Chains A and B, each alone.
Chain A
Amino acid sequence: MPWPTIIVFLLPALALYVVFLLIPIVLSTRYSLYAWNGFGPLEDFVGLDNFQQAFSDARFRSALWHNAVIVIFSLVIQLPAALALAMLLNAKLRGRAVMRTVFFAPYVLSEVVTGVVWRQILRPDGLLDQSMQGVGLGGWTQGWLSDPDVVLYALFFIISWKYFGFHMILMLAGLQQIPGELKEAASIDGANAWTTFRYVTLPLLMPTVRVSLFLSVIGALQIFDLVWVTTKGGPIGASSTMSTFLYDRFRDSRFGYASAVSIIIFGFSLVVALLYQRFALRRDLEGAGAGV
Chain B
Amino acid sequence: MPVSDLALRPSRPDTAGDDSLRSYRLRRRALRVLLYATAFVTMAIVIIPLTFSVLGGFRDSQQLSADPVGLPSPWVFDNYTTLLKSGSFWRQVWNSTFVALLTTLFVLPAASLSAFVLARYKFRGRELVYGLFTLGLLFPVAVAILPLFIVLRQVGLLSNPLGVALPQAAFGLPLSIVIMRPFFQAIPQSLQDAARIDGCGPLRFYWYVMLPLSRPVLSTIAVISIVGSWNAFLLPLLVLIDPNQHTLPIGVNNISSQFSTDYSVVLAYTTLSMIPALIFYALAERQIIGGLTNGAVKE
Determine if chain A interacts with chain B. yes
Q: Are B36 and A93 in contact (CB under 8 A)?
A: yes
Interface string of B1-37 (1 = CB under 8 A from A): 1111111111110100000000000000000100110
Q: Give bound CA distance, A60 to B292, whole Å.
A: 33
Q: Are A6 and B121 neighbours in the complex by a CB distance under 8 Å?
A: yes
Interface contact A113-B143, CB-CB below 8 Å: no
Query: Nearest Cβ in chain A — how far from B49, in angstroms?
Result: 5
For the complex, give the distance between the alpha carbons of A132 and B261 in Å: 23
> In terms of DSSP, what is the predominant structure of the interface of chain B?
helix
Do the beta carbons of B186 and A1 come within 8 Å of each other?
no
**Across the interface, which residues of A come within 8 angstroms of B133, CB to CB?**
13, 17
A116 to B255 CA separation, bound complex (whole angstroms): 10
Q: Which residues of B contact A166 (CB under 8 A)?
A: 292
Question: Residues of A contacting B277 with CB < 8 Å?
Answer: 108-110, 113
Q: Are B114 and A10 in contact (CB under 8 A)?
A: yes
Contact of A5 among B4, B47, B202 (CB under 8 A): B202
Across-interface contacts of A161 in B (CB, < 8 A): 45-46, 49
Alpha-carbon distance A182/B3, docked complex (angstroms): 10
Given contacts A13-B111, A211-B296, A225-B233, contact A90 B147 (CB under 8 A): no
Which residues of the partner chain B approach A282 to less than 8 Å between Cβ atoms? none
Inter-subunit contact A184/B49 (CB<8 Å):
no
1/0 contact string of B178-216 vs chain A (CB within 8 Å): 100110011000000000000001110010000000000
Using CB atoms, name the residue of chain A closest to B40: A99
* Interface residue range, chain A: 35 or more
Complex contact B267–A117 (CB within 8 A)? yes
Q: Flag whether B161 is at the interface (Cβ < 8 A).
A: no
Contact of B274 among A31, A109, A119, A192 (CB under 8 A): A109
Q: Report how far A225 CA is from B142 CA in the complex, Å.
A: 8
User: What's the nearest-Cβ distance from chain A to residue B76, in Å?
Assistant: 16
Q: Whole-angstrom distance between the alpha carbons of A258 and B281 in the complex? A: 36
Q: Kindly state whether residue B170 has any CB partner on chain A within 8 Å.
A: yes
Q: List which A1-40 residues lie within 8 A (CB) of chain B.
A: 1, 3, 5-6, 9-10, 12-14, 16-17, 19-25, 27-28, 31, 38
A14-B114, A125-B65, A161-B45 known; A19 vs B3 contact (CB < 8 Å)? no
List 22 interface pairs A-B (beta carbons < 8 Å), by A numbering. A12-B113, A17-B170, A20-B166, A27-B147, A31-B147, A87-B8, A90-B4, A91-B5, A91-B35, A92-B5, A104-B288, A109-B277, A117-B53, A161-B45, A180-B4, A187-B6, A222-B142, A228-B234, A243-B142, A250-B149, A262-B144, A266-B139
Chain A contact residues, CB within 8 Å of chain B: 1, 3, 5-6, 9-10, 12-14, 16-17, 19-25, 27-28, 31, 38, 84-85, 87-88, 90-93, 95, 99-106, 108-113, 116-121, 125-127, 130-131, 134, 161, 166, 169-170, 172-174, 177, 180-181, 183-184, 187, 190-193, 196-197, 200-201, 207-208, 211-212, 215, 218, 222, 224-225, 228-229, 243, 246-247, 250, 255, 258-259, 262, 265-266, 269-270, 273, 290-292
